[in-house]
């Protein structure tokens, strides 16, 4: 599988599944890999027929992707994950790379007032991710190969008061992904954990940019490079690894006043 990844962009034969088919990062990864086949799985749009992914499909075809297929995927409908993923694998697999590109930022102030909103954030960013990863790990183990790409966040490395609901979900996901990566060791299946900082994109458009921020394409470039090198973990940008290594020593009295 690594050999196929090395050939991506030069006539490779990688099969790619993007869960969260409208994600800017997920699409940027797909464009860089230029796979033989890509499946975009996304929640249907109420104002458009089907999945409403015409623009995204055209982007990928222009970038050199071969076959582009679509599927309906509701991350929060965890009871449907197993049947959906099994069906996609049977129709379009085996998949070389599966990118989990779904998630929500939520509203911290609202989450502090409304438990339902706090639960909605953690359900999408943690519970739904665990469900997908568990079913995917089983499928990829059965085929004996494949890589899952999971997006954590520096927000989960040391949770800040300013966005502790989102940060807590990412902290849980980060820990789960690390444990799963260990459980997959020797199976032929890999997990790449990506820890980006602030990303300039639709999801964080209402949030003030933070230091060491990046763009979706920069995150995608680092992710694809890590895939080709067979890495297990990548920080985007790399300097954040050093920064957060030092930030863990900041006293809590100061840390609780840190912005998001």
- Give percent of the chain with pLDDT exceeding 70: 88
pLDDT in tens, 248-258: 877 777 857 77
Q: What is the pLDDT of residues 21-32, one digit of tens each?
A: 999 999 999 999
Q: Provide the 3-class DSSP secondary structure of residue 202.
A: coil
Report the C-alpha gap between 226 and 234 in whole angstroms.
7
Beta strands across the sheet bearing 15-19: 67-72, 37-42, 15-19, 97-100, 146-151, 189-196, 233-236
Task: For residue range 87-115, list pLDDT tens digits in order.
Answer: 999 999 899 999 999 999 999 999 999 99
* Residues 20 and 102: beta-carbon distance below 8 Å: yes
Q: Using one digit for the tens of pLDDT, what is the confidence trace for 111-134?
A: 999 999 999 999 999 999 999 999
Q: Write out the catalytic residue numbers.
A: 166
Q: What would you report as the CA-atom Rg of the chain, rounded to the nearest whole angstrom?
A: 18
- Distance between CA 170 and CA 192 in Å, rounded? 15
Position 9 confidence tier, pLDDT thresholds 50, 70, 90: very low
Compare 66 and 79 and report the one with higher pLDDT: 79
pLDDT of residue 61: 92
Give the mean model confidence (pLDDT) for residues 194-218.
77
Strand ranges (E), the chain: 15-19, 37-42, 67-72, 97-100, 146-151, 189-196, 233-236
| Banded pLDDT at 11 (limits 50, 70, 90) | very low
Please report which confidence band the pLDDT of residue 241 belongs to, taking 50, 70 and 90 as the band edges.
confident
Query: Where is average pLDDT lowest: 71-80, 112-121, 205-214?
Result: 205-214
What confidence category does residue 2 fall into, taking pLDDT thresholds of 50, 70 and 90?
A: low
């Amino acid at each position: 599988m690594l050999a196929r990844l090395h050939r991506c962009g030069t006539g490779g034969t990688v099969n790619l599944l993007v869960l969260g088919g409208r994600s800017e990062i997920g699409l940027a990864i797909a464009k860089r890999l230029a796979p033989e086949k890509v499946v975009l799985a996304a929640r249907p749009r109420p104002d458009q027929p089907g999945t409403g992914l015409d623009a995204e499909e055209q982007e990928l075809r222009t970038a050199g992707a071969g076959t582009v297929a679509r599927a309906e995927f509701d991350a929060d409908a965890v009871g449907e994950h197993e049947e959906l993923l099994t069906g996609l694998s049977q129709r379009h697999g085996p998949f070389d790379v599966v990118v989990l590109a779904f998630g929500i930022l939520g509203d911290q102030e609202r989450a502090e007032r409304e438990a339902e909103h706090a639960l909605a954030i953690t359900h999408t960013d943690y519970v739904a991710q665990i469900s997908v990863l568990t079913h995917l790990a089983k499928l990829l183990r059965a085929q004996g190969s494949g890589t899952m790409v999971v997006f954590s966040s520096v927000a989960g490395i040391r949770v800040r008061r300013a966005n502790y609901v989102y940060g807590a979900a990412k902290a849980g996901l980060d820990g789960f992904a690390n444990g799963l990566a260990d459980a997959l060791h020797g199976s032929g299946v890999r997990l790449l954990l990506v820890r980006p900082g602030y990303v300039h994109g639709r999801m964080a458009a209402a949030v003030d940019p933070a230091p060491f921020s990046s763009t979706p394409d920069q995150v995608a470039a680092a992710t694809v490079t890590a895939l080709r090198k067979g890495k297990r973990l990548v920080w985007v940008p790399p300097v954040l690894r050093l920064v957060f290594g030092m930030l863990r020593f900041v006293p809590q009295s100061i840390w609780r006043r840190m912005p998001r």
